[in-house]
Each structure stands twice: as C-alpha cells, then as structure tokens.
Amino acid sequence: MITPTAEQLFYQALAKQQDNAIADAEALYRKALQLAPARPSILLNLAVVLIGLQRHEEAEEIAVRLLQADPHDEESLLLLGACQSNLGRKHDALATFERVLKVNPLLVDAWNDRGNALLDLQNPDAALESYDHALRLAPDHADVLNNRGNALLELGRGGDALDSYNKALQERQNFALAYNNRGNALLSLNQTHSAMKSFNAATQIQPDYARAHWNESLCRLSLGDFAAGWEQYDWGWIDGQRGPKLALGKPWWDGRAVDGNLLVWGEQGIGDQILFSGMLPELARYGKSVTAAVDPRLVTLFQRSFPSLKIVSKDGALHNLPFDAHVALGDIGQHLRKSWSDFPANRSAYLLPDTTRARHLRERLTAKNIICGISWISRNNVYAAQKSIRLPDLQPILALENFQFVDLQYGDTAGERERLDYGHALHVTHLDDIDNFNDIDGLAALIGACDVVLTVSNTTAHLAGALGKPTLLLLPHSVGRHWYWHEGSNTSPWYPSVSIVRQSTIGDWESVIAQAKAMLVDRQPLG
C-alpha cells in the first residue's frame, strides 16, 4: 500500500473542507502535518477549519506559531485577528488588523476586517470609512458591500443600507447572508412584506439558515400569518433567540389532550412569559393538571391569577416535577393561536393584582384626580435606543393639570426624576418600597392603583396589558417594534386594553407624544 504524501493529504483535506466536511478535513490536515510539521499552508488551512469548529483558542495558537516564523505574514495576521474577534477580544482584533495594514495598506480583506472590528466596537462611522476605503480598492467586492450595509443600518440609514445590499447581491446572486441583511434593511423601512420575501430568499439558498428562518417567522407573525409563522418559530431554538431547548426525558406536547400532567415552562424573557401566559387558562383543558414553570418574579402573581394551575419557579429542577408531557410557553401559540379568530373575544384581563395592596397604594396616590403610571425606557440589549424616550421629552404630558404621574420604570430613575423636578418643575412620584424590577407583584399592584398607564414597549407594557389596565403604548416606527404589536392597528389582540400610538417616521416621538397627550386630555376610551 502506497503511503500518501503530505501534499496529497493536503489536497484531500482541502476537498473535504470545500465540501464543508470540516471534521474530516481536520483529521487529514493533522496527518499531513505529521509528514510536514512546519508547512505554513497546512497550518493555515487547519486553523481555518478549527475556527469553523468553534475551537478558536487552538486556531489562535497556530496563528501565533506562524507569526513567530514570519511576523509580517499577511494571512497569519488576518487569521490572528479573526481568532481574537471570535474570542471577544475586540480591541486586540482591531490592533491586529491595523498591524496588517501597516504591512500592506492595499489589502482589501484587512480594510474589510478592520471595519468589522470597528462595528463590533460600536463605531459604525469609522467602520463605514474602512469599508469605503476597501471599496475604492475593489468596488465590486460583495463581502465588503454587505458589511458596508451593516454599518449604514447601524447608523439608521436604512435606504442607503438597502442599496449596498442590493449591489452585493448583484455581484453574488446566491449570497444568503446579504439577503437576510437586506431583509433587516427593509424592516427598518417598515416594508415587512418585502422583508419577509428577502428572508425567504436567504433560506431558499441556504435551507439551514436559522437566523433567516427566525426573521421570516417574526415577519409572518407580525402580519398575522400565524400558522406559517409558528411553523418557523422553532428556528429560534437553533439560532439561540429562545434560550436552550430543554430535554426533560418526556414527550413534547403535540397539541392533543394529555392523559396526565402537562408541564409548560418559560423559555424567554419576562415580557414574553407574560404575553404567552394569556393562553394558560385554555391550556388547562388539555391535561388533567397543568404545571407552569416561570420566572421566579412571576410566581406569586401567577398563583393568584391562575388558581387552577400549579405555578413554580423555572429555576428549579424541572425534571424532578411530575409530568407526562411538556412544552415551552412560546410554543403554545402554534396550537392555540392559529388565526385571529382564535383570540378570545371580550377579554379585558387575565392577571390579577393584590387588590388590598393596590388599594393601599391608591390611598397614597390621591394628590390629583387622575393617576397615570409612566414607563419610558426599554432595557432591551439590541433595541433600547429605538424603543426608549428621554423623560424630559414627555414634558407636554407631564405638565397636564389634574394628573399625578407615578414611576413604573424599572431601574434607577432617581437622577432623571431629580433633573426633571429641578430643571422643569415637573414631578414624577416614586414609591421607594416598590422595586419595579424585582417585585413584579408589587409593580402589578402599583399598576392596579393607577387609572391609566403610559409606556414604551417593555415589561411594563405587557404587565399593564395583562392586568387589563387602560394603557397607551408608544411604539417606534420600525426597528425595535416587536412582532406581537402586529401591523397597521391601534389595538392589540393580546391585550385589548392597550391602545397603540405608532411613530409615523423613524425617531419622531414628538408627534407620538402629542397624540398621546390629546388622548389623555380628551379621556378617549383606551383599549
């Protein structure tokens, strides 16, 4: 039997790598290295394979080894920067890419990678300059055009981003990533139908593209195409948008009646758990008993609101609970909300506050005729800036006579309230004994003490809506508007007591605030 040479093994590994059989490619590259331990081409390709296998530390060790032999090697420097970026060392990555450019200022990939590093460091202006420099060297570079679109999108220039993605797709028609990003740009322009088609184009090219499937799912749900939307909602598990999918050793609920106990557990944030919990009373019909495992902050409130269900903390050992089938809260909708007609008619509330506590709070808040709870900030990791309003911008509302405004905002608001009081002689009442973040049952009682709630899209909006409190919800135009507020309506099927006031253009909170003020003054029916 003829033993293959290092070169033959290299090309066998390269073929496997090109076929995306990267585990096989790694084994072949390592065999080649046994015959040629120092050959740079083998080491470089092995490092690329290791990056594909998410073994970035090992890839970095190879890059360092190569640079010890040749400190100015461009490919090794690019490799090192990629490893540093993947390991979250963003400043190190930026320094490495700038080091490459000192070696070769005409290297397009280095300008592109530098732009990516700057974008990771939340400096889209500088990233855009780097991409533009790369495009002066290579005007038709599809990857750079795509990344340039990302920078433009970060800068709020959705139309320009769309142009950049379209150019990238002209250069590379099967560019799934650019189709997905193009969908994001279309969403930023409030073109949901077109965005959905772009996400679908991405999955036609790359059927396992989890993020594009997830994005298409959210578009369909937003448009009320529930059956198709829920079908793709499962991709959120793969993409990491829904947390880990628990394997509890029992069957996954299939929508049919269970001859035993059904366990439902919350897999997303507290707002989503409140949203989906509106289906729990209906779910109770599908099992002899139902146990709901939710965020520990919701347990007391849910126990009061759903007395026929067993409510426990999701932080416990769920596999030790007695159950015969289980399902995530976010997956109930595919069985119970297949169309608009599946939403209960004439429902105003499904969560119940502590009425005694709410009454006592009300007694402390009777300085004016109308008590209005307010919340103006979203702490969303991605869309906080688009969803939030500066407290001083609410002055036209906060100056209304006969209103007492009460702080429902979670987080430390003392500085903002003090500046508002000192600079504008406007006061927002804050109750120190209510922790609006940790004491959700207390927050529910405080909302119960109010006549009306004014809020941006955050947990307070979900809680007020679930409590059936008349609520004015202030929504951004496009980016940051979640699917469950749907399209083109000023009401919510999830929360009938919520009235929605939407931006007509990106960033225009002034007209939204003016409309909300008029609704409060006229005491229009809310919800």
Domain boundaries, the chain: 6-177, 258-342, 355-522
Whole-structure pTM value:
0.91
Residue 10 backbone class (left: φ over 0; alpha: ψ -120 to 50; beta: rest): alpha
User: Which of 143, 161, 81 is CA-nearest to residue 118?
Assistant: 81
Amino acid type, 307: P
Q: Which residues contact 167 (CB under 8 A, 6 or more apart)?
A: 145
pLDDT at 301: 98
Q: Domain 6-177, what fold?
A: 1.25.40
User: Which of 205, 238, 333 is CA-nearest to residue 280?
Assistant: 333
User: Which of 309, 312, 249, 303 is CA-nearest to residue 285?
Assistant: 309
Q: Domain 355-522, what fold?
A: Rossmann fold (3.40.50)
Is pLDDT at 2 greater than 70 in this prediction?
Answer: no
Mean pLDDT, residues 359-371: 88
User: Which of 234, 253, 333 is CA-nearest to residue 291?
Assistant: 253
181-212 residue pLDDT tens: 999 999 999 999 999 999 999 999 999 999 99
pLDDT band for position 424 (cuts 50, 70, 90): confident
User: Which of 152, 93, 213, 75 is CA-nearest to residue 144?
Assistant: 152
Task: Please state the length of the chain.
Answer: 527
pLDDT at 3: 67
258-342 is a CATH 3.40.50 domain: yes
Residue 414, number of CB atoms within 10 A of its CB: 11
489-504 residue pLDDT tens: 899 999 999 999 999 9
Rounded to the nearest 10°, the torsion over CA 39, 41, 45, 51 is 70
Q: Which residues contact 232 (CB under 8 A, 6 or more apart)?
A: 213, 214, 216, 217, 220
Q: Tell me if domain 258-342 and domain 355-522 are identical in fold.
A: yes
Q: Which residues contact 280 (CB under 8 A, 6 or more apart)?
A: 264, 290, 292, 306, 309, 350
